[in-house]
Amino acid sequence: MPPMTHPQHEGRPVRVLFVCLGNICRSPSAEALFRHYVASQGASEDYEIDSAGLIAHHQGELPDGRMRAHAARRGYTLDSRSRPITYEDFFHFDYIIGMDEANRTRLLELAPTEEAAGKVSLLPEWCEASPRDHVPDPYYGGAEGFEHVLDLLELCLPSLYEKTRPT
């Protein structure tokens, strides 16, 4: 369930962190597409957007080449470098958004406080129109899996923006 109240931003950007297992497919795509959408709304200065993984296996790597290629066909550039989530992320970010239930479970286990745990949600929870309750991992599938992830992100991210934008 998304956080019900907006955190106090005190004149600073809204801080959003997207998280998946390895930070090479879903979360860097969500980061790039959300950054693109926020910019299209003229709100780049109102947001700090990042992504992280629950494992450090791909640390420092660019997103998966297949994901980058599918995103590029839609006009998106995925150029962030994979990094693992940190203890500090739970205090720094206002919203920590996982891609599936396993991500959420692990994020809640890692959350150092109840307040930090309250920042954790799943992306489809922000979008009433989402046909899925999670963003599936395309890593071991074919092209259709990468396209499906991008479809879900394009559907859900405008709702996330509307529900988190500063008023």
Catalytic residue positions, numbered: 20, 26, 137
Q: Pairing mode, if any, of strands 95-98 and 47-53? A: unpaired
Q: Which residues contact 10 (CB under 8 A, 6 or more apart)?
A: none
The residue with tokens 């390895």 is 22
Q: Which two tokens stand for residue 100?
A: 């599936």
φ and ψ at residue 84, rounded to 5 degrees? -80, 155
Residue pair 156/132 in contact by the 8 Å Cβ criterion: no
Write the single-letter amino acid at 61: E
